[in-house]
Structure 1
Amino acid sequence: MRLDPSRVRKRLHLASGLILGVFLLTHFSNHALGLISVQAMERGRLTFNLLWRNPLGGIALYGALAVHFVLALEALYRRQTLRMPWKEKLKIVSGLAMPFLLVGHVTATRIDWVLSGYSAGYYDLLPYLWGKPIDRLDQSLALLLAWAHGCLGFWFWLRPKPWYPRIALPLYTLALMVPLLALLGFAAGGRSLGAALPSQSWFMKGRTDPAVLAEIRIALFAGLGLSIAGVLIARLIPMRGKVRIRYPDGRVLSVNRGFSLLEASRAAGIPHVAICGGRGRCSTCRVRVTEGLDRLPPAGKAERATLERINAPDNVRLACQLKPQFDVAIAPILGADNIGVKVQTPEEETGGRERRVALLFCDLRDFTRMSQQHLPFDTVFLLNRYFEMVGEAVEGAGGVVNKFIGDGVFAMFGLHNRLNEASLQALTAATEISHGIRLLNQRFESELTRPFRVAMGMHAGTAIIGRIGYGQAAALTAVGDSVNAASRLEGFAKEYDAELAVSADLLRQAGVSLEDQPTYPISIRGRTGTLETLIVQDARSLAPMIEAARKAEATPAAERG
């Protein structure tokens, strides 16, 4: 069986990171015992030494440290561009800086112990560090940097897991409390022993000569520095051959072989979505290959699994994993512009008031089933594109997106204008949503197992407008019989397999003629009588009636003018 180098690297990186993470947790816990006493710290040190200072523990710890550092250098060398999100930069910089900060500590403890057999404890180290502010600062910075690097690594690893949100809060709490308690314990222990240098014990007979330890420190610093410098110099050596990458807008990039498509986009400053950070764990960076497909290297195991998960066609590849060796033309499938959606929250009085408004409920049909066939990253991305489209349609027509409910949207019209104008705005928004959903289907045709479909319910009437909720969750919204009616009409649109169910009350307020339009008397739960309703299969068909209503409204004003 042929090993996948990328998969081997990832597993080695994860295994070494887990070992180092366990060591940091035990080491920090030991420091935190300083809040009790230095004696407690010393007892903890002797206990933890049973784990880390036996032959197997020592090989695991320092083997993991060496593997982790070598993999960091190798990743730095393979990375074709240093343009990356700030979290990735912080992870790389902290990982490379950490060994320099730990050299002094490792030399004075582990290396001294290996050479002389003397195990320096807290009674030796704390007074020494406490008497030297620079060394004390260096040690504290090393602690924080090591922990930050580990937390970032675990965050990148755990973030795509479906169960991560359930444990995120306890993990964040742990990530903050562990280093805080360690620093407090370190400070408490140092203050309790004072700053008297233990000259007789620190340089006692039987310990390694300080001059020898100093030479070892210099050698370690030089080795680390030369390793990083060598990698940076090697990056400057141009690779043989160039690859041309052509984008849909006509731009052509010429990059060295070995660049991934995502790295090429980042190096050129071309926006390219990659929610997982370019690790092949999502499919948001995927591209459609329009030329050169037959000469591309085959997808690796991780990339192939992701593409199969979303039923991607043969001409779709992950930009973060694909490193073309020949010229290629691509088209990013998911746009990078404004992934999120802004909810418009108008400034209103917090007290309740009655107002005649037009209300719109819009729901994405069968999205639960659709989401089961996509990765979580893609589900969120597609849902946000839908919300963005609906939000722009509502706000463009003059309404307010009040809230998002699962895969549904609730919008209000008429907070600052008359009901007849608000009703026309709501109808306009419905036609734009109908048009927009078809554009989304065209854009993501190859990615969707079934096209997007919406169901909308609309009604006009009196509602209570006010800020409702508790604390930070309080928001301006509408309640009342009219809101319930609009929500129920959305359900009837689904029952009739139509895009829109709109009440005759709203249509009359908008000035839309109902002649030759079949309406249905619909019973609304909790409401006496029936609600005359127009069922519309394609909301775009309302456009001529809306235009006629606008002209009819404008004609009297023109005659008066």
Structure 2
Amino acid sequence: MTSIDTVPLLSERSLRRARLISGLILLVFVTLHLANHALNLISLDAAEKGRLWFTAIWRNPVGTVLLYGSVLVHIALVMRSLYRRRTLVMPFREALQIILGILIPLLIIEHVIATRISSQIMGTQDVYALVIRSLWINSPMNGLRQSIALVVVWTHGCIGVHFWLRYRPWYDKVAPLLLTFAILLPVLALLGFASTGRILASEPPQSSSGYGPAGKSTGYGGSKSDDAAYSFATAEVRKQRVQMTKYALYGGFAGTLLTVFAMRTRRSWRERIDQIEIRYPEGQIVNVPRGFSVLEASRLGGIPHYAVCGGKGRCSTCRVQVVEGAASLPRPESTELTTLNRINADPGVRLACQLRPLNDISVVPLLVPTVEGTLPVGSQQTNPGREQEIVILFCDIRSFTMLTEAQLPYDIVFLLNRYFAIVGQAVEHAGGRLDKFIGDGAMALFGLRGSPEDACRNALKAAARIVSEIERLNDELSSELSMPLRVAIGIHSGPAIVGTMGYGNVKNLTAIGDTVNVASRLETIAKELDSALVVSEPTIQLAGSDTANLESQEISIRGRAEPLRVYIIHQQLTARFV
């Protein structure tokens, strides 16, 4: 039997890509439409000229197929997605996206009928003067409805773009500009509509009561320059065709939606007799029908479970370790496999949003969300785990046990607090974040904001400052210390999962992953090589630092197939990074 992975056009990834592309095409259409409305702030004539360009793009055969094809594809794939959801328990932002999407056809069908459809069937003109007069003067409630539709459509599209782009490394830089654009465009469009509406309202009333025909009298409010061209009976027939088209669109959409929910109900009744158990580490057991994803089971059972991308397989925050029943699991499809390979997942690790077990299994979520009583089940947390390019700095005191053998406990506490203050101030001064202290060791994160290049330079500056301040502390306490304080620092950069982790009140923003492990290993190597600082080659290259006169060598890192080149920097050379 051929699996879905062997049919690229029908794979989940291909369908998601088709949904994304069709949505982007529709968003481009809406953007140009709103920009055209905004031209009314200049003049009605400017808006009308813009409309001619707009219709030239979208009312030719290619534009028509592209637009209406995108509408059909997007609606069909949304309905498919709605049917495939095994539970409607979901975070608020996902529910908002779905609700707004369902409202859009109900809000805009009337407008489509009065413009595009009437233009084709009745031969009417949907010029700005007639359209705005109809919506602002003749039928203000319809105008209010279309204004609401404008906001709903635009909000739906912007939410989709935000959740598509939010974990791109460059998104944080452009997000303020995109937000400004997202707010200004609909506001300018509505102001343009209102401005022209007020101008037209101040003019003498015209006989036209709606969108008019192109130079023909059809009984539909147009000019009377050529009454012989259209008889009253013909006009009435065309009006009936327009009405039938409107009812067909409303009925078709409503029928499709009802069919989806009827199919969901039928499936639910059939699946009640064919359920499996999904067991969680705290002893919770959720019984769900075969075909539910593990993420859907968690939401249905009220078990908090991260899913930053909304269950689309784009992130890895929902991943679980399957501890029982792994042998009977279906193989991962392309979307899941790509993400698992990207994070170098261990055997038995699967994405909860993509894993649909056929038999009983036991799982352990690998990123445990904070349980907040004020948040609804399944809601997203404020700092869920996400993959990010960061720089990790590990710092430790060498021979700390020997150093403290002859010290009183109070003296050790005093010494450690002075050391912690040096490390903390150096990290914060360089724009980093102090993650944690472990005994006499410290871990710091750089690059949570800003570019990777800046993060690498800042981490090196922090290391140089730590070494310098430790020397100053040695001079200050030389008479009290049996041996001078010496630190070993390891720095490495790369992708890591950054998020709020922990339990109860003991939780903080931290990072996990291979990058953290390598940085910790480099700090150990710094001790072994009697060096103040060991930096990985990728980090020092991103920082743009001069590597002349620096000792380097390749080292083996446990868990990595290839050796890693590092630079070994002794105490006297750290000052070059200040």
TM-score normalised according to structure 1 size: 0.64
What RMSD over aligned residues (CA atoms) do the two structures have, in Å?
3.9
User: After superposition, what is the alpha-carbon deviation per residue over 1:53-103, rounded to whole angstroms, capped at 9, x for unaligned?
Assistant: 111111111111111111111111111222222221111111110011001
Choose from 344, 349, 354 the match for 1:321: 354
Give the Cα separation in 2 of the matches to 1:455 and 1:150: 38
**1:259-338 equivalence runs, <5 A:** 259-337=292-370
Q: Secondary structure at the match of 1:244?
A: strand
Give the Cα separation in 1 of the matches to 2:112 and 2:429: 54
Give the Cα separation in 1 of the matches to 2:440 and 2:307: 27
User: After superposition, what is the alpha-carbon deviation per residue over 1:272-300, rounded to whole angstroms, capped at 9, x for unaligned?
Assistant: 11222222121111100001111111111
Aligned residues: 405
Quote the offset at 1:330 in angstroms. 0.4
Quote the offset at 1:167 in angstroms. 2.1
> Is 2:258 aligned against 1:229?
yes
The answer to whether the 8 Å contact 1:243/1:257 transfers is yes
> Is 2:136 aligned against 1:130?
yes
Counterpart code for 2:38: A
Give the Cα separation in 2 of the matches to 1:409 and 1:28: 43
Identify the residue that residue 124 of structure 2 maps to in structure 1: 118
Identify the residue that residue 2 of structure 1 maps to in structure 2: 7
Give the Cα separation in 1 of the matches to 2:486 and 2:128: 83
Counterpart code for 2:221: F
> Is 2:375 aligned against 1:377?
no
Q: 1:288 to 1:503 in 2, by over 3 A?
A: farther
The answer to whether the 8 Å contact 2:437/2:443 transfers is no
The answer to whether the 8 Å contact 2:57/2:63 transfers is yes
Quote the offset at 1:492 in angstroms. 7.7
Q: Secondary structure at the match of 1:203?
A: coil
The answer to which of 2-11 and 250-259 deviates more is: 2-11
Quote the offset at 1:489 in angstroms. 7.9
The answer to whether the 8 Å contact 2:304/2:371 transfers is no
User: After superposition, what is the alpha-carbon deviation per residue over 1:349-406, rounded to whole angstroms, capped at 9, x for unaligned?
Assistant: xxxxxxxxxxxxxxxxxxxxxxxxxx992348998xxxxxxxxxxxxx9x99888577
Q: Secondary structure at the match of 2:386?
A: helix
Choose from 49, 55, 65 the match for 1:49: 55
Q: Percent sequence identity over matched residues?
A: 40
Identify the residue that residue 161 of structure 1 maps to in structure 2: 168
The answer to whether the 8 Å contact 1:33/1:185 transfers is yes
Q: Secondary structure at the match of 2:330?
A: coil
Quote the offset at 1:246 in angstroms. 0.5
Quote the offset at 1:40 in angstroms. 1.6
The answer to which of 12-21 and 222-231 deviates more is: 222-231
Structure 1: unaligned runs, 5 residues or longer: 340-374, 384-396, 412-428, 435-452, 457-485, 496-500, 523-536, 538-561
Q: Secondary structure at the match of 2:278?
A: strand
Q: 1:455 to 1:335 in 2, by over 3 A?
A: closer
> Is 2:190 aligned against 1:183?
yes
Counterpart code for 1:70: A
Counterpart code for 2:200: L
Quote the offset at 1:221 in angstroms. 1.8
Q: Secondary structure at the match of 1:199?
A: coil
**1:511-522 equivalence runs, <5 A:** 518-520=483-485
**1:343-354 equivalence runs, <5 A:** none
User: After superposition, what is the alpha-carbon deviation per residue over 1:222-264, rounded to whole angstroms, capped at 9, x for unaligned?
Assistant: 2212221221222222243212100011111111222111111
Identify the residue that residue 221 of structure 2 maps to in structure 1: 203
Give the Cα separation in 1 of the matches to 2:484 and 2:112: 82
Quote the offset at 1:327 in angstroms. 1.1
The answer to whether the 8 Å contact 1:455/1:494 transfers is no
TM-score normalised according to structure 2 size: 0.62
Q: 1:49 to 1:455 in 2, by over 3 A?
A: closer
Give the Cα separation in 1 of the matches to 2:486 and 2:361: 59
Identify the residue that residue 73 of structure 2 maps to in structure 1: 67
Identify the residue that residue 84 of structure 2 maps to in structure 1: 78
The answer to whether the 8 Å contact 2:317/2:385 transfers is no
> Is 2:99 aligned against 1:93?
yes
Give the Cα separation in 1 of the matches to 2:247 and 2:390: 50
Counterpart code for 1:2: V
Identify the residue that residue 567 of structure 2 maps to in structure 1: none
Identify the residue that residue 552 of structure 1 maps to in structure 2: none
Q: Secondary structure at the match of 1:179?
A: helix
User: After superposition, what is the alpha-carbon deviation per residue over 1:411-445, rounded to whole angstroms, capped at 9, x for unaligned?
Assistant: 9xxxxxxxxxxxxxxxxx956676xxxxxxxxxxx
Quote the offset at 1:48 in angstroms. 1.1
The answer to which of 54-63 and 155-164 deviates more is: 155-164
Counterpart code for 1:203: G
Identify the residue that residue 246 of structure 2 maps to in structure 1: 217
